[in-house]
Amino acid sequence: MLQEEEARRLVPSAAAGAVSDRGISAVVLVKPAGKLTPAAAVTQLLSGMALDDVEVESNETTKVGTREARRFVFKGAAADGVGLRYAGLLFAHSGYHYQLLGWGGLSVTTADAAWLTPVVEALSLQDGEVAAAPSSAPLRDSVGPGWR
Given 3-state DSSP classes, what are the helix, strand and coil percentages for the chain, each rounded to the nearest 5?
Answer: 20, 40, 45
> Using CA atoms in the order 102, 108, 110, 116, what is the torsion angle rounded to 10 degrees?
-30
One pLDDT digit (tens) per residue for the chain, 148 residues: 888 889 999 999 999 999 999 999 999 999 999 999 999 999 999 988 889 999 999 999 999 888 899 999 999 999 999 999 999 999 999 899 999 999 999 999 999 999 999 988 888 777 677 665 655 555 455 556 655 5
Q: 3-class DSSP state for residue 97?
A: strand
Residues ≥6 apart with Cβ < 8 Å to 68: 38, 61, 62, 91
pTM over 0.75, yes/no: yes
